[in-house]
Every structure is written in structure tokens, then in C-alpha cells.
A and B are shown apart, each in its own frame.
Chain A
């Protein structure tokens, strides 16, 4: 029942995959049973580890391949893929770090508790 699926994503965020997006990706990845790996130009890292993700130093425009292996691999990649597509929901990612409130309002697969890690306090305005 274990399957490996992969998907290419692009880091659209102009600041690159810095600490906050890396945290968001690792949090999302940890919600899934599957092993999640992120493959960059020179290395393959654990998608559930913020430290690992930061070692990618993925700048804006970087292509990465997400790979998931496990029972919920497809769903995991859908969720992670949309996180990248939605630019980590860090609207603008401006120098002041003002965030929008829409921390993950995408549709999530039904097999997970809908409550996101609500630890992200939005709106530091």
C-alpha cells in the first residue's frame, strides 16, 4: 500500500524558503504519515524537519521536487503542493513581516482533522 509520488514545485516567495515558510512546510509535512522528502539541486532532505529544509537555501524561483512515500502520499503532496502554490500564504512577505490572516484556508483532504496547527498567529499589524 506504500506508494511514492513526486511533484515539482517552485519557490515563488520572493524571500525564498526562509524560516517561516520552512516552518509551515515542515508542519504540514508532519501532519501526514508518509515519509516526505524534498529534493533540491544538490541534496535530498527530510520535509518534516525545519533544519533540513533550511539547508536547501532555496531562493525565489528555485525548483524543488517533493517526494512522498506512504499510505497518504498523494494527499500529502496535494496539501504541500498547494502550500507552495499559494506562496506559503505569506502574502507579500514584506519587510515588516505583516501577515495576512489566511493561514491555510485551502481545502484539506478529508482524512485529517481540519484544525490546522493554529499556532500561527496571523495579523501582527
Chain B
């Protein structure tokens, strides 16, 4: 599953204002509302579900990356977005490092395979230090989008 299959370009936030875990999850979820990917009426429910998942164990998977996510019946296909925190956010991540790159995923409950393949793609790309670095330095949403498209193109080629 390529980035372009699930990342909503209008929801990309290259410089989030939030400084806390819940704050950034809320900001990213709101960006999906603004992009028309989830409805405003579901916002609270989705934020709550994502936070509940975080309670079970942080999705800060190391290397400054977090993949907050939830299944939610209100979406019919996997939707996601990318945010970058220049300051870094305490995410209680597995390696204790602050999180700068966030990929938020909301998936339909009956599509575990899509969720797995999105995680696969994210983790595969994020093992590449150069990719992480350029992503953190991306200026605007279009820059982020271009990097994701490049990564997509490379993963098809390889």
C-alpha cells in the first residue's frame, strides 16, 4: 500500500502547533476533517479511540516516528495523514525519544490487511535515515507530498 493510496494531501501538516500527544492527535484528526476525509461529528470519537489505543502501548515506534491509529466504523477505506513536529513531542515512545514524524491512520474495522500494508510501507521507508531527514526538513505540504510520491515510485521500482 503506497503512501498515495492513503495519505490525504490536503491533510498534511508539515509544522504542527501541538506540543502534546493528545494535542497532535487532535490536530491531525482535525486536519482529516478539514480535508473531508472524516466527518466533524466523528472527530471526538476518533480522537478518543486513538488515545485509548495509545494507552495500551505507545505507537511511538522509535527513530522519532509515531503511527497513532485506530479502527473506526465511520470510514469505508483507510485514510491517513502526515504531520511533522519541528520541536518534537513527548510520545512516551518505545525508545524514549521525542517524536517528530507522525503518520496517523484510521481504518475500517474489516480491513486489517490494508492497515498492515500501510504500516509495512511506513516502516520500510522510515528505516531510511535520508528519507526521515528530508521529510523533517520539508517546507510545505507539497514538499512532503513530493517526497512521499518519490518514495512510492522507488518502492515500486525496487
Contacts and interface: CB of A to CB of B under 8 A. Distances in A.
A119 B117 CA distance: 27
A19 B59 contact: yes
Contacts of B116: 15-18, 57-59
Interface string B90-122: 000010000000000000010011011101101
Contact of B112 (A50, A51, A59): A59
B56 A55 contact: no
B158 to A, nearest CB: 12
A97 B52 contact: yes
Interface residues on B, range: 20 to 34
A77 interface: no
A19 B119 contact: yes
Interface string A1-24: 000000000000011111110010
- Residue of B57, B63, B70, B113 with most chain A CB atoms under a 10 A cut-off: B57
B62 interface: yes
A31 to B, nearest CB: 14
B74 to A, nearest CB: 12
Given A18-B119, A19-B61, A124 B112 contact: no
B127 A19 contact: no
In terms of DSSP, what is the predominant structure of the interface of chain A? loop
A95 B113 contact: no
Interface in B16-69: 52-53, 55-57, 59, 61-63, 65, 67, 69
Given A15-B116, A18-B112, A18-B116, 15 more contacts: A15-B112, A16-B112, A19-B69, A19-B119, A20-B56, A23-B61, A50-B94, A51-B61, A51-B65, A54-B61, A55-B123, A58-B116, A59-B113, A59-B116, A121-B55
Interface of A: 14-20, 23, 50-52, 54-60, 95-97, 99, 119-121, 124
